[in-house]
Amino acid sequence: MTQNPENPPLNPAEGTDLAALDQGTYTALRTARSEGRLELDGTWHQISPRYVVSQLLQNGILLVIVLVAAAVLALVLHQTWAWIPAAVITLIIVATMIILPRQAKAIGYMLRSDDIVFRKGILWQRMIAVPYGRMQLVDITQGPVDRAFGISQLKMVTAAATTGVQIPGLTQGAAEALRDTLIEVAETRRTGL
């Protein structure tokens, strides 16, 4: 089999393009307090900081829409009650925008020999290990704003609904390299369902 020089090998046996996984990402993953108890042999990878900018822009657009709708209802249609839900929604959006950078730094994934481990969360931390052989679908999606910032979301689907994993904020190169690696490894590790 001849290798295309433009596409580096992605099979772990041939060598994964690890440089693409960490290109343009945060430099250090904030670790969970209990991580010292876990015996993990892989390397943690993080998402792109452009994810935060994209989400801040999307939340800002939503905030403007809410405020314009409330202003139209209150000033044009004389429905002054519209300011109450608008204020509540505004507080929620602003709080989300404040904690968003910290949430993004808590998102990470690790490729291990038998599975991929995904983690997220600040107060309620969640860590999911998905065996390669149980993956049924690996999907990359991009919204219009994410596409403008060059980031994607990778979704892994398994037979169990609770183990579906979505990794947001991956650069396009990292998402494609991770998808190709997961597909190739999953083919070699298929297990009976």
Segment 120-167, tens digit of pLDDT: 998 899 888 888 888 888 899 999 999 999 999 999 888 776 667 899
- Specify if 2 maps to a domain: no
In a domain, 34, yes or no: no
Task: Determine, yes or no, domain membership for 123.
Answer: no
> How high is the pLDDT of residue 39?
30
Environment class of 119 (CB within 10 Å of its CB; exposed 0-12, middle 13-18, buried 19+): buried
Domain annotation covers residue 72 = yes
Provide the token pair at 123: 């107060």
Q: Cβ distance 149 to 72 under 8 Å? A: no
Q: What is the pLDDT of residue 25?
A: 77
In a domain, 70, yes or no: yes
Total domains in the chain come to 1
Q: Is the pTM of this model over 0.75?
A: no
Q: Which burial class, exposed, middle or buried, applies to 186 when counting CB atoms under 10 A from its CB (0-12, 13-18, 19+)?
A: buried
Answer whether residue 65 is part of any domain: yes
Q: Kindly state whether residue 73 falls inside one of the protein's structural domains.
A: yes
Q: Give me the amino acid identity at 69.
A: A
Q: Is 145 helix (H, G, I), strand (E, B) or coil?
A: helix
For 129-136, which contacts have Cβ atoms below 8 Å and span 24 or more sequence positions?
A: 130/156, 130/158, 130/163, 130/165, 131/189, 131/191, 132/182, 132/185, 132/186, 132/188, 132/189, 133/186, 133/189, 133/190, 133/191, 134/158, 134/159, 134/160, 134/163, 134/191, 134/193, 135/182, 135/186
Does residue 91 sit within a domain?
yes
pLDDT of 193 over the 90 cut: no
Domain span at 94: 52-101
Please state, for a pLDDT cut of 90, what percent of the chain lies above it. 45
